[in-house]
Amino acid sequence: MERTRITIFDTTLRDGEQSPGCSMRLDEKLRMARQLDRLGVDVIEAGFPIASDGDFEAVQAVAHELRRPRIAGLARASFEDIDRAWQAVRHAQRPRIHVFLATSDIHLHYKLRMTRQQCLERAAEAVRIARSLCSDVEFSPEDATRTEVEFLCEVTEAVVEAGATTVNIPDTVGYTVPREMYRIIEAVCDRVRNRPDVVISVHCHNDLGLAVANSIAGLEAGARQVECTVNGIGERAGNASLEEIVMALRVRCDQMPYDTGIRGEQLYPSSRLLTEITGALVQPNKAIVGRNAFAHEAGIHQDGVIKNPLTYEIMTPQSVGVPESKLVLGKHSGRHALGLKCQQLGYEFSRRDLDRIYKRFVALADQIKVVEDRHLLAIIQEEMPALAAIKEMAKGHAVGSPMGTA
């Protein structure tokens, strides 16, 4: 099966930063940008330079320092925005200007007070201005998935003719579903099929929990760039999660013939750094990087993982940078996991002795939910005298038996 290389466009520092409470200082953006470079993303959208002097300086600093990835700055479809974005990214080794303009009727009517024809003209003119400054120009028709498809295709043709090298189709409000996303991207790709130099991209929000599914549907329909964020942070319910997209493509490479340049072992470190910088905690059951992603409590699962991790883990924790799987001791845990944990703590028990420890353990787990090492050590230490006494009694019976006196 022929495989296709997908461009990973990371917008953690721009769209992700717009998540309430996730704004970053210049030094924090630089730290995160360096980690994104280690992670292997292809494009870093470093910010929205017109938004503030601080954001301009942060984008400029990232552009100056990082030489491998493309560095993009966002701009509205106006000369002032575009020029400000260019001044921020112009010293990058591989600069990109990312221009956007809403195209859905609801945005045109209520937000922009603009007709479709005016929108077409403004989009094309903005791209021409950007292209006069930078050879790499991306255009996004904001709210694309609520835009009438024929008009969306007209906008795509107009901006490509004006010089756009990438056309991104954003599901700005997380409204679409995978089958619909496929049809939209298919229609857009069909309009530019004679332009192999133009890349179609997807940028999906997670308002209905479908951002990753919609992104993958877009790839299957012909998109070759996917826009995403670490931990899926972003406005409202967030963006498509970078780590989920990358690992879905990697684990199910039999179904999806796409490769990325992402270094999987850097996914967890990237997640942890972002959490440290923003203070935005990752939900425990978050795929790939949540603390429960490689944790097992149910006894049946624990027994399977002890015998062969592949029974319940479709990827190794090390493949995403997590040190190891974790057996969580709770009321659903079985004797195998308890016995293994006791061994790790330095104790080896017979089946009978382990049964006694297990009864105490289950009773405690019913009360405190998770039994930590210190709790288990306390049980073991409390039970040691009784276990020793039982052993002495067993020896006495053995000595007093006919076998023992023979």
pLDDT digits (tens, 9 = 90+) for 192-243: 999 999 999 999 999 999 999 999 999 999 999 999 999 999 999 999 999 9
Indicate if 366 and 232 belong to the same structural domain: no
- pLDDT at res. 403: 43
Q: Is the pLDDT of residue 355 over 60?
A: yes
How many domains does one find in the chain?
A: 2
192 plus 326 within the same structural domain:
no
Please check whether residue 400 lies inside any domain of the structure.
Answer: no
Residue 331's pLDDT is 82
- Tokens 């023992």 belong to 404
Domain check: are 128 and 219 in the same one?
yes
CATH code of the domain in which 244 resides: 3.20.20.70
How many secondary structure helices (H) and strands (E) does the chain include?
A: 15, 12
Residue 9 lies in a domain: yes
Most confident range, picked from 219-223, 348-352, 380-384? 219-223
Q: What is the DSSP string of 275-339?
A: HHHH--PPPTT-TTTSTTTTEE-SHHHHHHHHH-GGGT-SS-GGGGT----EE--STT--HHHHH
> Does position 327 have pLDDT exceeding 80, yes or no?
no
pTM (2 decimals)? 0.87
CA distances from 331 to 92, 115, 337 (A): 55, 63, 12
Q: Work out the percent of the chain whose per-residue pLDDT is above 70.
A: 96
- Choice between 310 and 248, residue whose per-residue pLDDT is larger: 248
Assess whether 57 and 117 both reside in one domain: yes
Are 268 and 323 within one domain? Answer: no
* Distance from C-alpha of 332 to C-alpha of 354, rounded to nearest angstrom: 16
Q: Which residue has better confidence, 146 or 20?
A: 146
pLDDT in tens, 100-155: 999 999 999 999 999 999 999 999 999 999 999 999 999 999 999 999 999 999 99
Answer yes or no: is pLDDT of 312 > 90.
Answer: no
Q: Does some domain include residue 286? A: no
Residue 402: pLDDT above 60?
Answer: no
My answer on whether 8 and 133 are in the same domain is yes
Whole-angstrom distance, CA of residue 184 vs CA of residue 221: 9
In a domain, 33, yes or no: yes
> 176 is in which domain, residue-wise?
4-278
The confidence band for 391, taking pLDDT boundaries of 50, 70 and 90, is low
Same domain, 55 and 196: yes
